[in-house]
């Protein structure tokens, strides 16, 4: 069974640019989560999508957004990039609503560097 896949692996951008990160969940999983892991700040919850809808978001500005497609894959968009957006962005998937006790399974992440 394929795990959670994320693309691209690495990305280098400059301030002010926009970026799109992609995630494909494990087959059968309908919930997708996004996390930011910045140096010294640990894992911070960004967004949760289930059945194509945004269910919850963390304390991040509106320039962080995303969507989930009918096949349950997801995109994370970050506009007007700032230096502090440099981080590892991790995507996770789990069984969906009602599965609040389900473990999340993570991808390898996308490392975003802002110059």
Partner 1 sequence: AQKVTQAQTEISVVEKEDVTLDCVYETRDTTYYLFWYKQPPSGELVFLIRRNSFDEQNEISGRYSWNFQKSTSSFNFTITASQVVDSAVYFCALSERRTGGGNKLTFGTGTQLKVEL
Q: What residue ranges bind partner 1 (CB under 8 A)?
A: 31, 33, 42-43, 45, 48, 50, 55-56, 58, 88, 90, 92, 94, 96-109, 111
Whether residue 31 contacts residue 93, with contact meaning beta carbons closer than 8 Å, is answered with yes
Whether residue 104 contacts residue 15, with contact meaning beta carbons closer than 8 Å, is answered with no
Distance of closest approach, residue 39 Cβ to partner 1, in angstroms: 12
Distance of closest approach, residue 23 Cβ to partner 1, in angstroms: 13
* Residue nearer to partner 1 on the CB measure, 16 or 94: 94
* Residue nearer to partner 1 on the CB measure, 77 or 102: 102
């Amino acid at each position: 069974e394929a795990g959670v896949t994320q693309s691209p692996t690495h990305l280098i951008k400059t301030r002010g640019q926009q970026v799109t990160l992609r995630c494909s969940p494990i087959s059968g999983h309908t919930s997708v989560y996004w996390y930011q892991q910045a140096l010294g700040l640990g894992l911070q919850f960004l967004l949760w999508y289930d059945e194509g809808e945004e269910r919850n978001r963390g304390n991040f500005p509106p320039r962080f957004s995303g969507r989930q497609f009918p096949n349950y894959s997801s995109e994370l968009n970050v506009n007007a990039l700032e230096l502090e957006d440099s981080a590892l962005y991790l995507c996770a998937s789990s069984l969906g609503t009602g599965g609040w006790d389900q473990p999340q399974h993570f991808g390898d992440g996308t490392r975003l560097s802002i110059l």
